[in-house]
Structure 1
Amino acid sequence: MSSPYFDDHSFDLVAAQAELRAFRLVLNNNLNLGEREHVLANFDKWPQLCSLFGTFHPRVNRANLVKREFKVGAHFIADLAVRKDGTDNVCLVEFEPAKPNDIFAARLQGRKIPPWASAMEKGFSQIVDWAWAIDSYRETPDFQDAFGGKRPNVMGVLVVGRSTSLSDNTRKDRWAWRSQFSKFDGLQGVVLQTYDELFEWFDIQLKDFAGQTTPTASTGQASAPQVQS
């Protein structure tokens, strides 16, 4: 049974496969992804893929509670939240755009390696603020109702950029290190994903769920949902 903070969700493998094909079309047809026109507009239409964000949390997997524009404390909004009903296991998601320099800045600014880009830092700062809000508002009744408890198990996910931005081993290692070792009170961990990595992760999950190869756009039985491309 859902709470007033979430919408109930039932996982449908065939629908999820169709949404994944639509996601692939967006990635194939757009080198750059705008946050609103290509990401938020489409994930509004992809509830099955939204539920799959629960697979980043070891205690959620396929979430059966989903909410877009989820309030975190009094001041912050997550683009997406998913939760396992009857638990305090929650995954919060922040989407940022995907342009060539949205993970690492184009200018070296006197450095030998590029600094993190503003889009990356903006999204990461949002996750830091969620951690602060979780720690600050956990005593309030609204917080406990929304998160399922006073000390919820919350995972943060930031999706930003394309994998082409990780063009050398140093960039790849910095990306992986920041995801693996960023820890905050209030969060179980932080997962960083490019949109290409996200597609690959979802594809793996659906293949596991199906026990076979995910149908391609040409052989699948379900038609792909409309996308904002």
Structure 2
Amino acid sequence: MEITWLGHSCFQLRGKNVTLITDPATPQQNDGSEASPLSKVNASIITVSHNHPGHNYVQGVGGNPRVVRGPGEYEISDVLITGVASYHDDERGKKLGRNTIYIIHMDDLVICHLGDLGHVLPEELLEEVADADVLLLPIGGGNSINATQAAEIISQIEPRVVIPMHYHPEQPESIPAQLNKFCREMGVEGIQPQPKFTVTKSSLPVAMQIVLLSPR
């Protein structure tokens, strides 16, 4: 599987037979320009964690994809997706509403996309995501979990690969407050961003690996 970050919470998961897009971002959520990284992307499946601008730009994706919105179990083109109900804030949705976590079984891998999760995981949710090989999680704070909460969730799930999202590397002044804090929380340094990450079940690292991707 090839994983590419298209900015914000939007990833392209390109498997052997299926391409899946998570939380398609509106153009202004990436770099403020008119061009969207989705403009040349076709997909079979789209997952939308919540219906807020920046996460639901499904019209920007070509290929007539199936759109998954909300909790439930879905089987599309041999991809098994489980949507798990959660909240966009730490007050059970009173401030920002609901969020859906997606557990995606694809090409013998289990990918967990936390969407705009706003709280650490209670026991009942932890059981749902415990088998994740690759964890895609927000670190930027604001309307979702911050770096400290992200580190706690990683210790709860213990995935093999962690890819942070929902921070803004194109804004240099924000990097120390977001990405650098996350790296300090995780006790890592000197990680260089890469344009894409390719992984298979057999190539998963033995020890947990943090992967930084450059937004496309």
Which has the higher Rg, Structure 1 or Structure 2? 1
- Higher strand fraction: Structure 1 or Structure 2? 2
Give TM-score scaled by structure 2 length.
0.34
In terms of fraction of residues, the more helix-rich structure is 1
Relative to the length of structure 1, the TM-score reads 0.32
